[in-house]
Structure 1
Amino acid sequence: MSAARDLAREPRAFGTARLVIGDDGRRWWSIEAAPSVMLRLRRLFQGSARSGKRIVVADTLEACRDIEWVCERWRLSIEPADYAAERAGRHREAEEAVERILAAGYLPRTFDLAIQPREYQRRAAELALRTRQLLLADDVGLGKTASAICALTDPTARPALVVTLTHLPKQWEAELARFAPGMRVHRIRDGAIYDIAAWGPRRRKRRAGQLEIAGTEPKLPDVIVTSYSKLAKWADVLAPIAKSVVFDEVQELRKHGSNKYEAATQIAQAVDLRVGLSATPIYNYGAEMFNVLEVLAPGALGSWPEFAATWCGSEGADREKAELKDPRAFGAWAREQGFMLRRTRADVGRELPAVTRAAQHVDCDAKPLEEIQGRAAELAKIILAQDQKGFDKMKAGGELDWQLRRATGIAKAPFVADFLRLLVESGERVLCFAWHHAVYDVIEERLKDLGVARYTGEESATQKDAARAAFVDGKARVLLMSLRSGAGLDGLQSVCRTVVFAELDWSPGVHEQCIGRVHRDGQTDPVVAYYLTTDQGSDPIVMDVLGVKRVQVEGLRNPDAEIAAAQQIDPDHIRKLAESFLAKRSDDDA
């Protein structure tokens, strides 16, 4: 009887959590437990790989903390226990640090800069230095660049690498010179790969007509600035020397699998501090956030199947187009973990007058739309046909999108130009966004007497700088800008308060970036954004889709925003475009 009582007192082990290291160095936890425990573990570790009585979970800090709790709850043994305890402790400390830094009343440290950043900018920098991996998604114009420069003053962050859009390296050079004039900055030039450490001193001596000094020790700059377009070429050189990386306009990394994405991943995994900057880190589908954060916080989100099962509802969800089930919940979780920080102007007490958004109807010339009727109908039928291959539908979808949106833009262009003339003649300088070069051509030709400058994908960086200068100096009264070419551009807010969308993008995030070129610090007037639309062509369906896509963006960035439960992002916008086109054509024929 006594032996039976002693046996009953012995703790009962329900299973084991064992660390496994693969041949490629990747780590995961293999958990085996009694069937009753496994049922509950599968609910906790959604998306984990399963094989019989075994669950496989990616080795993240959060997973180690969950495993620690699981093992305490069901008395699983952990192998190795010290490793799991150390990582669980790091997760606990990180959560506490994030909560402390973001708490009201917290006073962040100052940084050794010529211009002392604002309190909220210093707070973001301190969070980045503590977590070593941060997506800073503050509103457009709140000074994310200043926060990044604060972080780069830390000696452990240098040499630092800044990666930005093709037209912004010079702007970064100027901002670094303004805030941190003591930092040595090098902007990577075009052409063949060269020795960055030796380039600067030798180049300056040649310009000064001096002889090379024998024995001069080459020295790396404090900050290296380059563009995403050069990243793949330079990745093998930059990864071993950079200690930190700032990915400006990090929405460029929302699509995985490209050479640009692979190069960014290579560099990010080699450095100790990673910061991403973007007011719109996703353009279309919320799951693009996984791709962005996988670069900034490698492995921290677990595997894609785990992420998809937890946040998208299915471990088999498409990594490019998956929707988040609850964007608000994911946004809150990302902030709690210290992966993302998003503040609005109201949050930091720097509110500007609200943007007035006006949908303005304009007429259109039916001829460009009539010219594509036959081909567009063929493409629409391919998209909607049940017996067509997926590749054929995808190809037809891309062509229909291009054909119909281009024709719609051209059909509206003369009337857009008339609207722009009214604005300019009333004293406004106008920033006009479009997408197709044929649309720019029509507008520029009709307004050439007013002065028109272009800032699109066709111009070189030097030509873009000249266009910006012409607009700021008043030589051009209209600046034509590509919907996706002006992200991050600063300086227009001092001369312009009027934005016109001659064409529409499928993503609301793109429109927000566009408006942010003038709705930012330094703007003293209320900003008005006109969406010029017609009831023909692609405009009606694009406007409809824009309404649902905004749900995914706002839920991530602003978890307190009210979102109608019935609204969901529509991943099938091309099918809707095809259906709308054929329905309209049928009505016209009738």
Structure 2
Amino acid sequence: MVSNSRRGQYGARRKRAATDNTGVIPQLAKAVREVEAAVMRGHVSATNRTKFQVVALLMREERARLKTDDTISDAERNDAMKRLDGLAAIMAKTAARDTSLIRLLQAETATTPQARAMRKQMLFAGGIDMVVDDAPDVPVTGAVVPEKLRERQVMPVGVKARVRSQPFLEPKLEKLTPPATHYSQLRDWEVIDPILKAFETGAGGGAASMELPDPPRFDRVAPAGRALMPHQAQLVEAVRYGHREFLLADEPGLGKTAQSILAASVADAYPLLCVVPNVVKTNWAQEVARWTPGRRATVISGDGENVDAFADVFIINYEILDRHVGWLQRLGLRGMVVDEAHFIKNPTSQRSRLVTQLANTLRGQIPGDRPLLMALTGTPLINSVEDFKSIWHFLGWIEEIPGQVGEYRPSQQLLDRLDATGLVPSDPGFMAAARREVIDLGIVRRRKVDVAKSLPSKRIVDMPIELDSDEGSSIRRAEAALVERLLARYARILQASDLPPHTIDLKRLQMVAHHEVQESKASSAGDSIFAMLHRIGVAKSELAAQYTAQLAHSVGKVVYFAKHVEALDRAEAAFAAEGIRTVSIRGEQSQLARDRAVKAFQTDPEVKVVVCSLLAAGVGINLQVASDVVLAELSWTAAEQTQAIDRVHRIGQETPVTAWRIIASQTIDAHVADLIDSKQGLAARALDGSDEDLVHSDDLQVDALVGLMLDALRGR
């Protein structure tokens, strides 16, 4: 709002007595009477609502000024305070007649440009010659940082400018509705436990998925060159029809990320906050660019030094949310997506409390507006139906009972739906009806097998990750040193050939790369291309294991492939820490041990992951009990990648297969992935009669090094 100090802010004040008919108070009295008359007539216009809010604002300012103004006597101060008290009584009675005005009395309610202009007019009419128009901070309901976190709060460069550039969030007055005051037959009943029991027992039967509209005939949402699958288009269409809260529990591989990004686009829910696991932050940024190329995404890391404060989409991981919750509450967010929402299942955990606090801020900051809130998870239930509670709380379907952490009651929205059924928990049909009402609030659950007709039988999905550890920094430095060494050799070749130093000659670059590959084969130096890929594979294995664990919780059994022994060891340690049972298939095993591992994975429901050596398990075994494969390390040949995926994608597999390639972005790993894909095209032409263009390449290692050098040369 505005400063309590009037003298410096408003400029010169006309000399007047506090009790005469000049000054601000008479202007406020006039405005109050006008609004009161409108309420009595039963017709309160938007202008009168704005006037009511401005009067409340100026009354608070006038009280603050009177308390500190040493130019008036105590008698004058007391008289002015009595006049303000009288106006406050009239406003309270007026708001009691039209309850939609109550919200406008609150100090934290956002003001509009019209309200700001009217405030200036009243002050000028009250004798204030000049009003300095300082842009106030965005007022936010519930914008409170817990005491123990206040010292940890950061303020990234540019955020303050972003907040001040949009100081007012305009209320949606046409959507404001008075609070419901009807009698609820359920007010004395405990309803949360029966609803959870209904989900536990499947009361009423049927899939736990709301009815969605048919997909539109023409896709006008996806960018050029991309298309939504029918099940994705259905959810986006529901957003177009006005639905704003979703528990999107589709199985992994069905495009939950794309659906939420396009939902935000259709709802115009920007700025959008995405709270995601650390391992998928980079992927989210790439998906935003892929599906909404006109929107800017920024990834928040550490203390947010590199945050683009004017971005449309803000992506943050759970672990650092406690440092940024303060400024995020002031950003004017219009939408929020929580990925892997089962991470907030514990209502007493800090991450759950902060996520819920942010959601409450969104719901309260723009009167009349419904923000987009989406909880994404393939595993809404980890241990029990109790895990639903925190997700429903985030979505606003239930609310926490004041002073009772983890204890909930239905929100007004849910209570209205339950009342409409005409049933109470003692009635036989209550559980089935209540389950249906909660589902219709926005639960969406599709499985691969449900939408198999619209999915290809085999898909490869790249999952980029950032190696932001010390180990990752060391790898990037080593890679930079390798490129500099190669470019120095290339520069000497150009100089010997009398060519300009910035010449890009593909044949000479290939000569340098070929020479490097031959030297690397004969050397174990730490900066060789083979050593580089080894280090990258080991460094990303733990992140790949974390992602595999998420899949295992969501879909059951997963096949994990890696190349190096160190990567396999790290992965198994990570799975053990997550409490996930595994078996392994490695090159040093006997055939008996190998057969036992395969059988355990196929038949033991407690074994969720088989950890496989890319070379030892790439052929000769059947693992089609799973439909998800994680490729933690890349092979040098497209054929090895295909062989690994085909351990799952084979005769007997009834579900579409998804292979997740974990790629270390901004490293040679990304070049290798691109080259593997291009080699797939070459194989298709040679073996399948495809008409894809041939890819000119001597070998993968040479092309990978050429790609690194080209990136460096073009970036200079």
Q: TM-score, normalized by length of structure 2?
A: 0.30
Structure with the bigger percentage of strand? 1
Which of 1 and 2 has higher RCO (CA within 8 Å, sep 6+)?
Answer: 1
Q: Which has the larger radius of gyration?
A: 2
